[in-house]
Amino acid sequence: MTALLDIKDLRVTFNTRYGEVTALDSVALHVNAGETLGIVGESGCGKSITALAAMGLIPMPPGRIAGGSIQLEGEELTTASEARLRKLRGREIAMIFQEPMTSLNPVFTVGQQIAEAIRLHQNVSATQAFRDAVALLDRVGIPSAAERARDYPHQLSGGMRQRVMIAMAVSCRPKVLIADEPTTALDVTVQAQIFDLLNEIQRDFGVAIILITHDMGAVSEMADRVAVMYAGRVVEQSTADNVLDMPQHPYARGLIDCIPALGKGETELKEIPGVVPPLHLLGAGCAFADRCTLKNARCETEKPLLLNHGHHLAACHAVEEGRR
């Protein structure tokens, strides 16, 4: 079976004042119809760039797709015309963003903004589109939807705005929904509600979700499969259970260790020492080497490839060599 969205060997570069910097390298991911793929990693690992690449929204210049392919239902997106991408965006593949506060246009009502999304892809009248927008707002759990549709974004709470974003994203029944840190800017209680809503939406609409997050808790609740990214590469990929229960890559293990386990009486929050290296300073070796407790000479000079280790794909010399 071919995947719904299939990213192969994707390489994205950006022109910066430090010269051409590789933001994504050899990224391979896929998501099947109706499933949820979690992409995890710290900030600056290339999660959002991957999402924007799938949407065809990488700003070019300074960005450039330097290699690889992105296929949506077998259709190549990296070489598709802007007009074709515009048709797919919103209709086949939609996205919701981290900041519901700033992601809605402040000078239009939320109803207008959803109706616009509908009319961009469906041949319906303005009144019908607005009625559909109200129905969608109702569907995503906004009370008195007909009145709220006439509100401006600043009149709604953060959670409500994210619901509006979700309504807008699913308005044309897309096959893929990319949710880029959809709850990071929200209160903890609201976070759970948004995840519940996304689960419901997936069940009812049959949409595949790519959930980008650094919250392993969210991944364990939502994702069927998980890809761990580090410094522009996928370093581990498997089912959610596999990654959560027996992570292979030292970075993935570090991330899992950081989840505060309930009831274990641990008071100290763990973290992986060090930071993600700036992309323009990446050397020849493994990007994680500087922070890795298992590194050896090979890790400093040779980039590990993403290889199949039983149930896991992992890119690590230590895993390859069975060092622990």
Partner 1 sequence: MGMSFLLRRLSYGLLLMLGVVVLNFFLIRLAPGDPAVVIAGDMGGATEEILESIREEYGLNKPVLTQLWIYISGVAQGDLGDSFFFNQPVAKLIGERISPTILLVITAQLLSIMLGVVLGVLAARKPNGVMSAFVSVFSTIGYAVPVFWTGIMLIILFASTFPVFPVEGMQSIKLRNAGFFTQALDIAHHLVLPAFTLAIIYLAQYARLSRASMLEVLSSDYIRTARAKGASEGTVLFKHALRNAALPILTVAGLQFGNLISGALLVETVFNWPGMGRLAFDSILRRDYPTIMGVLFFASMMVVVANLITDISYRWADPRLRGRT
Partner 2 sequence: MSNMTDHSAESPALEAWRMFRRNIPALFGVAILALIIVLTLYGQLFYDGDAFDVVWAPHEGPGVTPEFPLGTDYLGRDIVAGLLTGGGPTLAVGGAAALITMIIGISMGALAGYYGGWVDNLLMRVTEFFQVLPALLFAMVLVTLFSPSLWTIAIAIGVVSWPQTARLTRAEFLKIKELEYVTAARAIGARNSRIIWKVILPNAMPPLIVSATLTIGVAILFEAGLSFLGLGDPNVMSWGLMIGANREYILDAWWPVTFPGLAIFFTVFAVSLIGDGLNDAFNPKLRER
- In angstroms, what is the C-alpha Rg of the chain? 20
Q: Per rule CB under 8 A, is residue 155 in the interface with partner 2?
A: no
Q: Per rule CB under 8 A, is residue 16 in the interface with partner 2?
A: yes
Burial class (CB in 10 A: 0-12, 13-18, 19+), 134: buried
Report the residue number, 87 or 291, with the smaller CB distance to partner 1.
Answer: 87
291 binds, among partner 2, partner 1, none (CB under 5 to 8 A by kind): none
117 binds, among partner 2, partner 1, none (CB under 5 to 8 A by kind): partner 1
Q: Which bin fits 229, alpha (ψ -120 to 50), beta or left (φ > 0)?
A: beta
Q: What single-letter DSSP state applies at residue 240?
A: H
Report the residue number, 83 or 261, with the smaller CB distance to partner 1.
Answer: 83
Q: What single-letter DSSP state applies at residue 173?
A: -
Q: How many residues bind partner 1 (CB under 8 A)?
A: 28
CA distance 229 to 249: 11
229 binds, among partner 1, partner 2, none (CB under 5 to 8 A by kind): none
Choices 39-47, 104-112, 192-200, 220-228 (CB under 8 A): range interacting with partner 1: 104-112
Q: Per rule CB under 8 A, is residue 283 in the interface with partner 2?
A: no
Q: How many residues bind partner 2 (CB under 8 A)?
A: 4
- State the maximum Cα–Cα separation within the chain, in Å, rounded to a whole number: 66
CA distance 24 to 14: 10
SS3 at position 50: helix
Burial class (CB in 10 A: 0-12, 13-18, 19+), 28: middle
SS3 at position 160: helix
SS3 at position 71: strand
278 binds, among partner 2, partner 1, none (CB under 5 to 8 A by kind): partner 2
We find the least distance from the C-beta atom of residue 87 to partner 1, in angstroms, to be 7
Contact residue for partner 1 among 49, 50, 121, 216 (CB under 8 A): 121
226 binds, among partner 1, partner 2, none (CB under 5 to 8 A by kind): none
- Please state, as a whole number, how many other Cβ atoms lie within 10 Å of the Cβ of residue 193: 16
Which two three-digit tokens encode residue 239? Answer: 């089912």
Report the residue number, 62 or 310, with the smaller CB distance to partner 2.
Answer: 62
Q: Per rule CB under 8 A, is residue 280 in the interface with partner 2?
A: yes
Choices 82-90, 187-195, 267-275, 310-318 (CB under 8 A): range interacting with partner 1: 82-90
Residue whose tokens read 């039983």? 310
We find the least distance from the C-beta atom of residue 284 to partner 2, in angstroms, to be 20
We find the least distance from the C-beta atom of residue 149 to partner 2, in angstroms, to be 37
Residue whose tokens read 């401006």? 152
Q: What single-letter DSSP state applies at residue 89?
A: B
Q: Could you list the residues that contact partner 1 (CB under 8 A)?
A: 55, 57, 86-91, 94-95, 97, 99, 102-109, 116-117, 120-121, 152, 154, 165, 168
Q: Could you list the residues that contact partner 2 (CB under 8 A)?
A: 16, 18, 278, 280
